[in-house]
Amino acid sequence: MPRIFSRRNFLITGAVLGGTAMVAAVGGIGTLATVDMDGPDPLLDGDRLVFNAFVAIHQDGSVVIQAPRTEMGQGIHTGLAMLVAEELDIPFDARIRVEHPVEQLAAYTNFSGPLRTRPEGAQGPVMWAAKRLLGLLPLNNTAGSRSIVGMWVPMRQAGAAARHMLVTAGAARLGVQVGDVTTSDGFVRHAASGRNIAYGDLVRDAAAVPPPSDPVLKPASAWRLIGRAQPRVDLPAKIRGEPVFGADVVLPDMLHAAIRQAPVFGASVARVVNEAETRAQPGIVDVAVIDGRSVAVVASSWWLAETAAWRLDIQWAATEAEVVTSAGLARALQSALDGDEPHLYLHEGDVEVPAGQVVTAAYTAPFVTHACMEPMNATVLIRGDGTAEAWCPTQSPMSMRWGVNRGAALADVDPTSVTCHVTMTGGAFGRRSDLDVVVQAAFLATRHRDRPVKLMWSRQEDIGRGIYRSHAAARMRAALGPDGLPVSYDALVAAQSMQQSASARLLPFGNGASPHGDRFTVEGLDKSYYAVPNRRLRSHHVPSHMPIGAWRSNGFSFGTFFAESFVDECAQAASQDPVAYRRRLLRDSPRHLAVLDRVAALAGWGTPLAPGRGRGVAIEEAYESVVAEVVEITVAADGEITVDRVFCVVDVGIVVNPDAVVAQMEGGIQFGVTTALMSSITLEAGAVMESNFHDFPMQRLANAPEIVVEIMPSNLPPGGAGEPGIVPVAAAIANAIHAATGRRLRSLPFATVETLGERRLRTVLPAVDMAARN
Amino acid sequence: MVSLNVNGAPVTVSAPDDKPLLWVLREDLGLLGAKYGCGIAQCGACRVLINGVSTPSCVTTLSTVAGASVVTVEGLPQADGTLSVLQQAWLDEQVPQCGFCQPGFLVAATALLDRVPQPTNAEIDEFIDNICRCGTYPRIRRAIHRAAAAQAQG
Ligand code: FES
Ligand code: FES
């Protein structure tokens, strides 16, 4: 990957942040909220003009856009490029090249996630200081469905600033007023004289034009790209099978590494019994114990390394966690729920208010993992001169850089600089925010200076030694008023804190954030948009030895299942239709109500279904979007369950690329169906039992439902789209099972998987609900 | 030394007999299109055509493909680089998300259309058993039908 920005960005933003250095170039960092356009003049570099941190134009008219968010299948490179192209007035075609930037600039910071704000909304001295701090790290990650939310304004400003400079240069060249020229299709046009100048011909002149401090953005009425489906810029290469992934990185002199990590998290390596024998095999270059916790084999080929790793005879030191089982951890959740002093997350009104009928229910969800299609991998090169370079399918170049530093530090090496190349990722789903594989690869690279070391985990390591979404359990209680609607709603949830587990791994200092009051534990349980006067939400953190990390939609993946199943149970207790009941609860939330009404209409809610079939609905507000889904299922006499169709209506605010939003809903729904029906990570003797797709199965094409997605028109600022799709799925399926069979399933996953020969499976509801037995 | 034909060209590989074809392709022949997703014939990311049959290359050893004709995703376009009808349908339907599984699906679907030019949904379900974690299944189905229709016309 070429290093498009080097010297250039130093001049434009005043700070190139590499290695461990935090460059406090205070004067030059400028407005972190935007694109640093009030920095020094843009610069010509060979045949191109680098306008700002995001846009460069070559004299041949080709445009290079820096998209500082990881492309992991969500189409973000296309969406971000559309925003620039919209304001720049260039056609959305093959003359645009989109790159993930190599330099880590403050302008690429994702502060909208951690600060939970939008660039256009971020004001005041506290926000300014917080943004500056994040920019110094710089915190650049792709997470929380925040990419469009956070870059919606900066990317358009970058395009508008470049256009302003081209227009100014073009008008001067033509000897006319700026107001007399227009732009379209990559030309500055003077209609009165019929003269046009291509952007490429103006880059030299535009270099002399000062960037505008506050570029004017187009009104929505002038958009020609935003809101119109554009083809993904990354698909042609992917359809040709070109090597775009981290797993495809090939470098001269590269070594390959495979790894075996402790079966029980936290266990250390006591001895590698056959180390000498392994080293003696042809092609094996190294056997290394990493941080006392895993053993890697380095070889001339990954296949050789992995084969040797299979044969490693490793003795692991005993740990306390060896007695842990899934059943024991599940009991720990229940005793936490029984215990005193939960964290009070929210209390509005008084949930003890006396009311009529009381509804209670208890739910559970298991540990699950990501199983990204591309196994975890990283390639790291540490040179004799002390510099380091790394290639990784990561969601966070910041984590990646820290990972290299931390891995090198295990060998007492402190790279003088770390250059990070973010590759395309074969799925991510939160998993690639972590830096474990980078740490390991960097440590190995310290042992083989001047040779890139590419470490790739086997699928067994990915599923059995990975990072997980926490299990969870909840107890819900509602008291219904005379109209059947809840007067009070009380949710008590127990889970292991993701915030604490992940931040302890990812932050370079301390033991992580407080686990109490972790918002990721209570996501989906708040139900603030429902008109319930008295609400309480409490949580327990239940620690374990399992590493917990970000997982597509985090707490929503269980919290919405609990809450939206429970709403159906309340509707049932009140003898009301689930959609009609929610409509009444949404009386003060018109945005949500419109989404619900639309999905009900789309799905033909209320029309009769054959016996054994059922419909279920669920709704959620997540990532500043509102999504509702209706699921249609069939349960056969022998318990086989098929999810036949899913109708999805989503309000994501203003839509940039509608087809990408539809694809994210489709993908999220499939992800959700697999998870709801069949995903579970179990523990025996402290170790994860699942190891590959045969025992952590996925639905396949034959099991996949038909999906109908509709996007609500909206003028609200863009919300997130990567995660909302999965959120309502589990509850909608549970509600559909109830409609079809009268059975209320309160434990995920709902089904057991039966194989029907190779690579063929069906899902069957157990005869007895496990939760009912608890 | 094993000789075989890969994407129309004869090649000779010196690698251990038991080395899986997937790793021969990726490491010895520099063809990175076929992907490692599971190594146990579960996911199909490594599928290639062996004498026209869609086969998981992760469990196919080098010695068993001596003299065989192997086609990887890189070999699907026409000689001048134009996308195959199926690949074009894949682009038109905007199938891939992350794309990691897609070479295996493209190979599997190519084999399907060779055998059954106008497959029904049931035939697609029966034949296409790869895994896509991103959930592109509905678009895969549409793209196969689109390619079948285009081939019937063309
Ligand atoms: S890698 Fe061969 S089937 Fe998964
Ligand atoms: S497109 Fe990502 S796994 Fe299929």
Q: Whole-number mean pLDDT of chain A?
A: 92
Give tens-digit pLDDT for A245-270: 999 999 999 999 999 999 999 999 99
pLDDT at A27 over 70: no
What would the mean pLDDT of A297-323 be, rounded to a whole number? Answer: 97
State what percent of residues in chain A have pLDDT above 70.
93
> CATH number of the domain at B85-153, please?
1.10.150.120
Q: Which of A77, A238, A368, A723 to mutate to test the interface with B (most CBs of B within 10 A)?
A: A238
Q: Which helix (H) or strand (E) segment is A327 a member of?
A: helix A326-338
Question: What does pTM read for this prediction?
Answer: 0.94
Give the model's confidence band at A21: pLDDT under 50 very low, under 70 low, under 90 confident, else very high: very low
| Mean pLDDT lowest among A4-18, A299-313, A697-711 | A4-18
Give tens-digit pLDDT for A577-627: 999 999 999 999 999 999 999 999 999 999 999 999 999 999 999 999 999
- DSSP E strands in A523-624: the ranges are 534-541, 613-622
Three-point CA angle A535, A539, A541, nearest 5°:
175
pLDDT at A126 over 50: yes
Do A250 and B30 make contact, defined as CB atoms within 8 angstroms? yes
For A187, other C-beta atoms within 10 Å of its C-beta total 22
pLDDT at A34 over 50: no
Q: What is the pLDDT of residue A5?
A: 33
Give tens-digit pLDDT for A209-221: 999 988 999 999 9
Give the start-to-end residue ranges of the domains of chain B.
Answer: 2-75, 85-153
Give tens-digit pLDDT for A690-736: 999 999 999 999 999 999 999 999 999 999 999 999 999 999 999 99
Q: What is the pLDDT of residue A106?
A: 86
Judge residue A661's burial from the number of C-beta atoms within 10 Å of its C-beta, 0-12 exposed, 13-18 middle, 19 or more buried: buried
pLDDT at A673 over 50: yes
What would the mean pLDDT of A480-495 be, rounded to a whole number? Answer: 97
Q: How far is the CA of A433 from the centre of ligand 2 (A)?
A: 18
Q: Give the residue from chain A lying closest to B126, CA to CA.
A: A702
Give the model's confidence band at A41: pLDDT under 50 very low, under 70 low, under 90 confident, else very high: low
**Nearest atom within ligand 1 for CA of residue B39:** 1
pLDDT at A204 over 70: yes
Q: What is the pLDDT of residue A111?
A: 80
Q: What is the pLDDT of residue A6?
A: 31
Nearest CA to ligand 2 atom 4: B132
Tell me which residues of chain B, numbers 90 to 109, contact chain A at a CB-CB cutoff of 8 Å: 90-91, 94-103, 106
Q: What is the pLDDT of residue A774?
A: 39
CB A335, CB A473: distance < 8 Å: no
pLDDT at A123 over 80: no
Give tens-digit pLDDT for A550-563: 999 999 999 999 99
Q: How far is the CA of A757 from the centre of ligand 2 (A)?
A: 23
Asked if B84 has any chain A CB less than 8 Å from its own CB, the reply is no
b/e burial code for range A248-274 (CB count within 10 A of at least 16 → b): bbeeeeebbbbbbbbebbebebeebee
Give tens-digit pLDDT for A507-549: 767 678 899 999 999 999 999 999 999 999 999 999 999 999 9
Q: What are the backbone dihedrals phi and psi of residue A523, each rounded to the nearest 5 degrees, phi first? A: -55, 140
Cα(A111)–Cα(A277) distance, rounded to whole angstroms? 51
Query: One fold for both B2-75 and B85-153?
Result: no
**CATH architecture, domain defined by B2-75:** Roll (3.10)
Q: What is the pLDDT of residue A28?
A: 29
Q: How far is B122 from chain A (nearest CA, A)?
A: 8
Q: What parts of chain B have a pLDDT lower than 50?
A: none
Give the model's confidence band at A767: pLDDT under 50 very low, under 70 low, under 90 confident, else very high: confident
Give the model's confidence band at A81: pLDDT under 50 very low, under 70 low, under 90 confident, else very high: very high
Give the model's confidence band at A769: pLDDT under 50 very low, under 70 low, under 90 confident, else very high: low
Q: What is the pLDDT of residue A122?
A: 62
Do A303 and B141 make contact, defined as CB atoms within 8 angstroms? no
pLDDT at A166 over 80: yes
What are the tokens at A495?
Answer: 């889970």
Cα(B97)–Cα(B100) distance, rounded to whole angstroms? 8
CB A516, CB A541: distance < 8 Å: yes
